[in-house]
Chain A
Amino acid sequence: MSNNFDNKRPIYQQIIDRILTSIAKGEMAPGEKVASVRVMALYYGVNPNTIQKSLAKLEEMGYLRAERTSGRYVTSDAATIAALKTRIPDTIIGDFVAEMIGLGIAKPEIPHHVKEYIERVDKDGKDIAN
């Protein structure tokens, strides 16, 4: 059970984001069958209705497709997945920038922090000092 949800947004939206990230990373491969609502509810430690809502939205958005009898599948549409891969960094950067501003770091300062950090890590993003 991994219910480290942030406090400010509905849980179903946060599950949508996690699933989208998995699709973008290829952890959920194009055309792959999606686990059942029950299994996902247990995995995330949330109400099955919440999962149902997340999956229905993902279907509306075109990232999942429902087969009448056999369940839900990740889209096989390469263009949709490619578009998702460009969208996700924006979301991550958005959260990051909001956090930094929340810490009282002025907007023009943020790129300096990023640059300094990037210089400190190796190609996999691991801190060289450690």
Chain B
Amino acid sequence: MEKILQISNLTKSYGKTQAVRDITFDVKKGSIVGLLGPNGSGKTTIIKTIMGLLSDYGGNVSIKGEAPGPIANSRISYLPDVAHIPTWFKVSRAIAFFADFYEDFDAVRAEAMLAAMKIPLDKKIKSLSRGMQEKVQLSLVMSRRADLYVLDEPIGAVDPASREFIIDTILKNFDGEGAILLSTHIVADIEPILDVAIFLREGEIILHDDVDKIREEKATSLDQLFREVFKNVV
């Protein structure tokens, strides 16, 4: 399978602190890869490097042969770990904003998704509940036809119904043409949709395998394994 994202020997330090060390993995077309680890394990640093938001790193990062930067970014649909759409925007304006910005944005799809959730388009984003805001963000991000979707902590919302919605939204819009890299520290809900799991601890990869293989070999769920490995951290 074609590799959409390739990272080799990525190292990044902030001053004397090494945030990530010797990170190597790739994301193949049609696959969903999970970056799993507690807060501070380096998930967001890796994602920010992919998005061209950090310079001064060691190693190599390539998105379909392109180094991180504006050209690569036009092929990546990115959900940051903090809200990225101005909250004074009305929902309709956020849609127009995405349509202006991204050639691969499917406004009809986004509107259909938001309508299904009964989110009024003429409401300001800040007037929606936090869970709803997250749903709007994810719907917009998943309405692009990108090569790579990078989702940083997509399941922040606490209530289980929202988690189910988020997983559903990801699955509904994942057509096998692209690939998904997502980070989380809540493994249980996301486990059934992952092809590959990468465990990060203190900036290093400590496990990297197919989820099926992990379950087969260790006779345990990914979630149980995660809790065991990080039992003193999460």
Contacts and interface: CB of A to CB of B under 8 A. Distances in A.
Given A1-B168, A42-B172, A47-B32, A7 B220 contact: yes
B157 to A, nearest CB: 16
Interface of B: 30-32, 164, 167-168, 171-172, 174-176, 192-195, 211-213, 215-216, 219-221, 223-224
Interface stretch (A9-17, A80-88, A99-107, A121-129): A9-17
A61 B194 CA distance: 25
Given A7-B220, A8-B219, A45 B193 contact: yes
Given A42-B172, A48-B174, A49-B30, A10 B212 contact: yes
Interface residues of A, number: 20
A50 interface: yes
Contacts of A8: 215, 219-221
A44 B194 CA distance: 13
Given A42-B168, A42-B171, A50 B192 contact: yes
Nearest to B216: A10
Given A1-B164, A1-B167, A44 B215 contact: no
Nearest to B175: A38
A10 B220 CA distance: 9
Given A1-B164, A7-B224, A9-B216, 17 more contacts: A1-B168, A3-B192, A10-B213, A10-B215, A10-B216, A11-B215, A42-B172, A45-B167, A46-B193, A47-B171, A47-B192, A47-B193, A48-B176, A49-B30, A49-B32, A49-B195, A53-B212
Contact of B192 (A5, A9, A38): A5
Contacts of B175: 38
Interface in A28-45: 38, 41-42, 44-45
B212 A12 contact: yes
24 contacts: A5-B192, A5-B221, A7-B221, A8-B215, A8-B219, A9-B215, A9-B216, A10-B212, A10-B215, A11-B192, A11-B211, A12-B212, A41-B171, A42-B171, A42-B172, A45-B171, A45-B192, A47-B194, A47-B195, A48-B174, A48-B176, A49-B31, A49-B32, A50-B192
A113 to B, nearest CB: 26
A86 B43 CA distance: 49
Contacts of B211: 10-11
Contacts of B193: 45-47
Contacts of B219: 8-9
A49 B32 CA distance: 9
A38 B216 CA distance: 25
A9 B211 CA distance: 10
A45 B221 CA distance: 16
